Structure 1
Amino acid sequence: MALRMKLSAITLDCPDPLALAAFYQQATGLEPHPKSDAEFAGLQGEDGLLIGFQRVADHRAPTWPAPEVPQQLHLCFDVTDLEGTEARLLELGAGKPADQPHADRRRVLTDPAGHPFCIVGS
C-alpha cells in the first residue's frame, strides 16, 4: 500500500535567508511567514506549502552544470510567459548559466545564493 503524504515544506540552505526569501517573494508573490528572521525565513503558499531559507555559515553555491558542488535541490516553476518571466527574474538578481538544455521550452536560472531552478513555459 502506498503512503499518502502531502509535501509541506522545501528548505534551501543559503548565506542570507531574508535576502533569498525577498528574491523568491518578488518572483512568486508568496507571502512571508510571520516568524521569518535572519536565521530562517519562509514564504507561505495558499495551499500551505512553505518554502524555507535557512542560514548556513559555510554555504557553498552549486556549480551547475559542473559537478564540483552538486545542485543540492532543483525547483521548477510553470510560467505562461517564458521570455517575460526570465527577463523579470534577471532584473531581480537571478543568474543565467550558459548551459541551457531545452531552452525552447524551459530556462535554467540561478537564485542569488546560486541554487539552480527552472522556469517552464506552459
Structure 2
Amino acid sequence: MTSDSPTLRIGSVSVDCPDPGTLADFYAELFGMTRIVESPDGSVVAISDGTHTLAMMKVDDYVAPTWPESGQGQQMHFDVSVPDLDAAEARALAVGARLADHQPAPDLWRVFLDPAGHPFCLTTFGA
C-alpha cells in the first residue's frame, strides 16, 4: 500500500436473519455489546462493543443454514477465541445458543448454532 492509499477497515459485519432484534440481543449478550442503531421498522439492528460492529438485517424469505449438510450454506460464520472452552460453552448455551450435532474437533473448536441457525465456533485457537 502506498502512502497516498486510503486506510480501509471493516466498518461492520452484516448478518441476514428473520428477526434482527432477537439475533441482536443474542449476540449483544454473548459478546458484551450494546445496541447502537435500530431502523424505525426494525429491519436493521446494529450492536457494538466500541470496536466491532454487527448489523442484523431482516430477510423476509430467510432460510436457516443446513450446515454441515448440503443445501443452504452457512451465510456467515464467527470463530470466537476464548481461553476456556467449557466456560465459554456454558455462557453461549445460557444466552440461547444450541450445540451443533456435528463437532469435527471439539477439543479445539466447539460448534454452536445461533437463534437464526447460523453456525459459529468457540475455540482456544488464538486466545
Q: Does TM, scored on the shorter chain, surpass 0.5?
A: yes
- Tell me the equivalent position of 1:40: 44
**What are the superposed Cα offsets for residues 12-70 of structure 1, whole Å, 9 maximum, x if unpaired?**
0001101100000110101211x2141100111322x3101011111000011011111
Number of residue equivalences: 120
Structure 1 unaligned regions, length at least 5:
none
2:120 pairs with 107, 113, 117, which one?
Answer: 117
Alignment TM-score, normalising by the size of structure 1: 0.90
Question: Which one has the largest radius of gyration?
Answer: 2
2:103 pairs with 72, 83, 100, which one?
Answer: 100
Alignment partner of 2:120: what SS? strand
Structure 2 unaligned regions, length at least 5:
none
Residue 63 of structure 2 is aligned to residue 63 of structure 1 = no
User: Which residue identity does 1:116 align to in structure 2?
Assistant: P
Distance, in Å, in 2 between the alignment partners of 1:61 and 1:50 is: 22
Shift >2 Å, 4+ stretches: 1-5
The CA deviation at 1:5 is 2.6
Percentage identity across paired residues of the two chains: 36
- Tell me the equivalent position of 2:84: 81
The range that moved more, 111-120 or 91-100, is 91-100
CA RMSD after TM alignment: 1.6
Distance, in Å, in 1 between the alignment partners of 2:122 and 2:88 is: 8
**What are the superposed Cα offsets for residues 62-104 of structure 1, whole Å, 9 maximum, x if unpaired?**
0110111110111111111211111121122111111111110
